[in-house]
Amino acid sequence: MHKPHPDLNLEQDPRYVADVTGKEGLESGIAVSFNPATGEPIAGVRLDTAESYEQTIRESQEAFKRWRSVPAPVRGEVVRNIGNEMRRLLGPLGEIESMEVGKIRAEGIGEVQETVDIADYAVGLSRMVGGRTVPSERPQHRMMEQWLPLGLVGVITAFNFPNAVWGWNAMLAAICGDITIWKPSLLAPLTAMATNAVADRVATQMGHPGVFRLVIGTDEEIGERMIADRRLPLISATGSCNMGRHVGQVVAGRLGKCLLELGGNNAVIVDKDADLDLAAKSTVFGSVGTAGQRCTSSRRLIAHKDIADDLVGRMARAYKTIKIGDPLEEGTLVGPVIGQRTVDAFTNAVEQAKAQGGEVLVGGNVAKPEGLGGWFVEPTIIKAPASNELPIAMEETFAPILYVFTFDSIDEAIDMQNSVDQGLSSAIFAGSVNTTEKFLNVDGSGSDCGLAYVNLGTSGAEIGGAFGGEKDTGGGREAGSDSWKAYMRRQTCTINFGNELRLAQGIRFE
């Protein structure tokens, strides 16, 4: 039986079920969390029901009335203490995440660091969120914008970033005066419980209970209820494009606001004058990091035909040294994928690629690290046929597969990069500023993605920038820059401090 780290207080949580066999179905009211490295159950979590959801929302409406009247910089103090507590618990939180979703230790801890970073950022913002004064066309009138708390924010997260994506939303929502209602993935409920408990504990100790709520349940029972719920003015959802399309339609149907962070099919362009060593190292991390299960993972390599073989040769040599295995063991670079469905999707994609004329250069198989009964696949490189036609590469397979294409001219490379439905992340490695500026061209003819990197890989964004993408990626922006605006409502205020009625547009009404 798993013994959770005492500082995470999981055992004290009434939802926590220590003894599970792994055979429990969701109809038993318990979701079992499995360790994807061993395939064994870790512990269970009691699911929310329609009634407990309803109670959470009603209590949250009351909590909102209290929280919104706490001055924003004071809300920032709460967030500062949450960030500090996350800092203290970086190790245990990172480890539970490694155990539950298979991230290697460095990446698990790195993810919690992302929450610490956004907490710091939110503390600063708590003294900065504000509007502008606009010149009025009328004498003795003042116009200004103010930003007001929005209300209850529904946050739906995926298994792959079970801590940080909540952090991006919840830390900003908190300083904005909102209550976060978090529905985590049923593949990572323990990380969510531990994470939310940190925030709730700190806020409660400071006299602000009920600001951070968790609802754990199936999409049918809880997810559908949330997205249709008019008491949640904003739904922020991370997941597949299909999921987002559904969420977007339901929320639009009630004229709610949506913040969608959906799939990516991210490409790395490498020109012939690029630093190939840098490009190879970055692309290896981009494609095999998190076992290819980031929305920002590099899925396509578009290499100039003169250097493609050299570049892929360097990467292939690196791939052969990568240790696949227990994510918590020193030296492991690739842990398991999340479950059998991902293994099947991987195998299916490799088969399709072969049938479409792709050549497997490295990997391509299910992996079986010694002593581990979980779900592993080999990081894989597949070369597209000379025609560059490989339909499977147009899809996002959430696994470590990199498809290689070649190009002659940079325009052609940019077209290829933009030819997929998704528009999250993109990268170019090149030596000439003429080329990199083409990729970033301010006329919009370069990368069509929300994130564009030069001499850096597609994954690993810092929290200070706005994170998200265009097209089927959903258009939402989270984390830094002015993403906070999504969690507030804007009010344009006009004040007449004279004694005369002056109508706008010079209208006379006498």
- Minimum Å gap between C-beta 296 and ligand UN1 is 4
Rounded-to-5 percentages of helix, strand, coil across the chain? 40, 20, 40
Q: Site residues (CB under 6 A) for ligand UN1?
A: 114, 160-161, 165, 238, 294-296, 459-461
Contact 297, 285 (CB under 8 A): no
CA gap 82, 232 in Å, rounded: 24
Whether 295 is catalytic:
yes
Catalytic residue among 85, 295, 378, 396: 295
- Minimum Å gap between C-beta 458 and ligand UN1 is 8
Provide Rg for the chain, Cα atoms.
Answer: 24
Contact 396, 418 (CB under 8 A): no
- Buried b vs exposed e over 312-326: b needs ≥16 C-beta within 10 Å? bebbeebbeebebbb
360 beta partners = 382
- Minimum Å gap between C-beta 496 and ligand UN1 is 48
Catalytic residue among 85, 107, 111, 261: 261
Nearest to ligand UN1 of 35, 266 (CB atom): 266
Nearest to ligand UN1 of 373, 464 (CB atom): 464
- Minimum Å gap between C-beta 266 and ligand UN1 is 10
Whether 261 is catalytic:
yes
Please name the residue that has the structure tokens 């564009």. Answer: 452
- Minimum Å gap between C-beta 205 and ligand UN1 is 29
- Minimum Å gap between C-beta 255 and ligand UN1 is 27
Nearest to ligand UN1 of 114, 229 (CB atom): 114
Which are the contacts of 397, defined by CB distance < 8 A and separation ≥ 6? 299, 345, 346, 349
Nearest to ligand UN1 of 189, 460 (CB atom): 460
Q: Which amino acid is at 434?
A: N
Nearest to ligand UN1 of 16, 161 (CB atom): 161
CA gap 307, 8 in Å, rounded: 50
Residue nearest ligand UN1 by beta-carbon distance: 461
Which are the contacts of 154, defined by CB distance < 8 A and separation ≥ 6? 181, 183, 226, 227, 229, 232, 234, 235, 236, 237
Nearest to ligand UN1 of 78, 262 (CB atom): 262
Question: Which alpha helices (H) appear in 356-490, and where do they start and end?
Answer: 410-417, 433-439
Which are the contacts of 341, defined by CB distance < 8 A and separation ≥ 6? none
Write out the catalytic residue numbers. Answer: 261, 295
